[in-house]
Structure 1
Amino acid sequence: MDNELKLLIGKDEKIIYAGKPNKKCFIFESIFNPLLPFALIWGIIDFGFIGASFSSKDEHIGFFLVPFMLLHLMPVWIYLGGALLSFRRYQNTNYIITDKAIYASGGVFSKHYNSKPFAELSHVDLHRGIFDQWFGVGDVITTSAQANPVTRNGRTTSTNAGISIDSISNYIEVYNIVKKLQQDVYTDVMYPNDLRPRENHGYNTKYRG
């Protein structure tokens, strides 16, 4: 359990689950991601140009072209950097579920910590990709009931994304835990027990517009 992530938990909260992603699945998904085919094709084309420049009769062309092509290979370097640093990201990724919220940590060089109270979560979904099924793991994905501001490329946008608990082995158990807590807490916030009528006469009525 991440001690720094644990410090974010309130004194009145009870830890129900603490864990990390499956290492093999996490690293495989980092290596075999959608950027791989693009980086592979990009690299083949660029290295072809570099090889052709050195085989040219004019030797000076290669010395001028290589620095440009190395910069032009940026998508390849980005992919390789993400793949090579996947183990570092795995080390920094941790999840904690309490009776009130979900906590998660991540990052490569710097660590970031996220928390999301169950009172703000409206949906809980279960996702299993190709590698998830291969390694017998799954992702528990939550959706926030309210839009949260996110800054990307200098622009502030809003998103309803919650916290995703990725590549965990006991995904069914964790899904049921999160789903029950989300339903109990979110429902109680939207309609407190003390305000609920003993009978709901509108349940079986027909909608008349």
Structure 2
Amino acid sequence: MTLRDEIGVNETIVWQGKKDKRVSVFEAIFNPLLIFALIWFAFDMQFISSFLSYGGSFGTGAKSILVFFIIHLAPVWIYIAGVLTAGLKAKHTEYLITDRGIYIKSGIFTTTTEMKPFTDLSHVSVRQGIFDKLFRTGDVITTCSHISTTSSHSENGHFHGMNIENIADYEKIFRLVKEYQEAIYSDTMYPNDLRPSENHGYRTTYMR
């Protein structure tokens, strides 16, 4: 089932896109864990080199030490796994925007589809990291000012919405999401005017 098949019957698709795999891979390589993994690897290699230089043989004791260091190098394996799977995660991440909200489908082995309606969003912003600037991509960040069933942890009084990350046309998507967010969210928060069946409160084509 594609992401298009999971939207509501009365929804209109206005944009669909995917992550830039290059940015995802570079961000996975050059992250804070890189320095920690290098130090950890160098520290363990000193012990392994010392053991081999003092005539360590591959007997039972040597095998036990080898198994110990394979386990002890777990932070290094975690870092390498993160780099190797970054491209796959980006490949399997899809974004879709309708006239009702934002859909994100992600996951390599287990697929998850999330939807955030524009009525939940209160703020929209753009973020560009070092590699975003290098590859001319960006992130569209959304937040919520109230508790909702689809929001995650809070920060500075706001709840996280859903982020559209590492996309080429981030400026266009920022304007698009902002337009829908302002129209729908502002109209929802405005005194209800007895809430007619068709909402004319904020010059929007959004129909309740």
* Structure 2 counterpart of 1:63: 63
8 Å contact from structure 1 (residues 53, 65) kept in 2: no
Paired letter, 2:18: K
> Unaligned regions of 5+ residues in structure 1, if any?
151-156, 197-209
Equivalent-residue separation in structure 2 for 1:13 and 1:21 (angstroms): 23
CA distance in 2 between partners of 1:122 and 1:72 (Å): 46
Identity of aligned residues (%): 41
Q: Give the distance between the partners of 2:56 and 2:31, measured in 1 at CA.
A: 39
Number of residue-to-residue matches in the alignment: 188
Q: 2:12 — aligned with what? A: 14
In structure 2, how many angstroms separate the alpha carbons of the residues matched to 1:108 and 1:45? 33
CA offsets per residue over residues 150-203 of structure 1, 9 Å max, x none?
9xxxxxx8442111101111111100000111111111111156369xxxxxxx
TM-score, scaled relative to structure 2: 0.82
Contact preservation (8 Å) 2:19, 2:91: no
**What is the aligned partner in structure 1 of residue 169 from structure 2?**
170
Q: Secondary structure at the match of 1:7?
A: helix
- Aligned-partner Cα distance in 1 for 2:148–2:28: 27
Contact 1:147 1:158 in 2 (8 A): no
* Contact 1:105-1:114 within 8 A present in 2 as well: yes
Query: Hey, what does 1:201 align to over in structure 2?
Result: none
Aligned-partner Cα distance in 2 for 1:148–1:41: 42
Offset, 1:147: 3.4
- The 8 Å contact of residues 13 and 96 in structure 2, kept in 1 or not, is answered as yes
CA 1:80–1:192 in 2, change beyond 3 Å: closer, same or farther? same
| Partner Cα distance (1:17, 1:195) in 2 | 33
Q: Report if aligned partners of 1:103, 1:116 keep a CA contact under 8 Å in 2.
A: yes
Report the Cα distance in structure 1 between the residues aligned to 2:51 and 2:147, rounded to whole angstroms: 52
Write the distance in 2 (CA, Å) between the matches of 1:49 and 1:96.
51
Question: How big is the alpha-carbon RMSD for the aligned residues of Structure 1 and Structure 2?
Answer: 2.2
Partner of 2:189: 190
Higher strand share: 1
SS in 1 for 2:193: helix
**In structure 2, C-alpha distance between the alignment counterparts of 1:142 and 1:10, rounded to whole Å:** 21
1:92 aligned partner: 92
The runs of 5 or more residues in structure 2 that have no matched partner are 196-208
Question: Structure 1 residues 66-75 or 26-35, which shifts more?
Answer: 26-35
Q: What is the CA-CA distance between 1:88 and the residue it aligns to?
A: 1.4
Describe how 1:95-134 pairs up with structure 2 within 5 A: 95-134=95-134
- 8 Å CA contact 1:122, 1:144 repeated in 2: yes
Equivalent position SS for 1:146: coil
Tell me how far apart the structure 1 counterparts of residues 145 and 94 of structure 2 sit (CA, whole Å).
23
Q: 1:8, CA displacement in angstroms?
A: 2.1
